[in-house]
A and B are shown apart, each in its own frame.
Chain A
Amino acid sequence: EVQLVESGGGLVQPGGSLRLSCAASGFTFSSHWMSWVRQAPGKGLEWVATIKQDGSEKYYVDSVKGRFTISRDNAKNSLSLQMSNLRAEDTAVYYCARAPGVGATMALGFDYWGQGTLVTLSS
């Protein structure tokens, strides 16, 4: 059974940093693109960042470029999102999601999702 379990969310001050993690199991982690998607309270979904199977390609939404870094450890079946210089508008539930297709050349959406971890910005 595919499982994605996020952790690391919490309350942080504007300008601060936080590292989110996603533990993956039930599939060959190194064969899939992986992504982070977020949802601000009462708002829609936003694709934040995505990373290729071997970590050689990474893409970000413009609003987080230079502040967020996506990474993965295929030996540990783990995905991470390092967030720095956090802003009030980064308050959201952050979801870890897997892209469909073993060995895909692009992250063509998502198939499995985690339950999310909440990041709250507050001074």
Chain B
Amino acid sequence: QTVVTQEPSFSVSPGGTVTLTCGLGSGSVSTSYYPSWYRQTPGQAPRTLIYTTNTRFSGVPDRFSGSILGNKAALTITGAQADDESDYYCVLYMSSGIGVFGGGTKLTVL
């Protein structure tokens, strides 16, 4: 069973920069895993931020960017705003044909 790891929680100051990561329990994440990122607030459906490592979804501000940092996928948020408070999930595509979500990161802006 593949395990995808994310920080359970993170906090950032308004206007600050934060980088959330998405790793593998065993191994390194590369672009071959086509990492994607989503955000979700309580009671709402997920919303897409980034797919295929660094492609920003339509309408997503360029404050959000995706990359590979070291052996993990990363989502960087610059100029953090209060309404960036959310749960953030990554997905890694597996050779089995289906992807695996990380456990999510609860981001607090304070």
Known: A47-B98, A57-B97. A95 touches B46 (CB 8 A): yes
The contact of A59 among B36, B52, B96, by CB within 8 Å, is B96
Determine the chain A residues whose CB is within 8 A of the CB of B89 once the complex forms.
Answer: 44-45
Residue of B nearest to A112 (CB): B48
Interface residues of B in 77-105 (CB under 8 A from A): 89, 91, 93, 96-104
A71 to chain B, nearest CB (A): 16
B49 to chain A, nearest CB (A): 10
Q: Give the number of A-B contacts (CB < 8 Å).
A: 74
B102 to chain A, nearest CB (A): 8
Question: Which size class do A's interface residues fall under?
Answer: 20 to 34
Interface size on B, residues (CB 8 A): 26
The contact of A110 among B40, B48, B97, B103, by CB within 8 Å, is B48
User: Does chain A have a CB within 8 A of B57?
Assistant: yes
Task: Tell me whether B34 and A108 are in contact (CB under 8 A).
Answer: yes
Choose the segment among A12-20, A24-32, A113-121 that binds chain B (4+ C-beta atoms closer than 8 Å): A113-121
Q: How far does the alpha carbon of A100 sit from the alpha carbon of B55 in the complex, in Å?
A: 10
Interface residues of A in 9-62 (CB under 8 A from B): 37, 44-47, 49-50, 57, 59-62
B93 to chain A, nearest CB (A): 6
The contact of A45 among B46, B48, B55, B96, by CB within 8 Å, is B46
Q: How far does the alpha carbon of A115 sit from the alpha carbon of B47 in the complex, in Å?
A: 10
Residues of B within 8 A of A (CB): 1, 34, 36, 38, 40, 45-48, 51-52, 55, 57-58, 89, 91, 93, 96-104
6 shortest A-B CB distances, which residue pairs? A109-B36, A59-B97, A109-B51, A59-B98, A108-B34, A45-B101
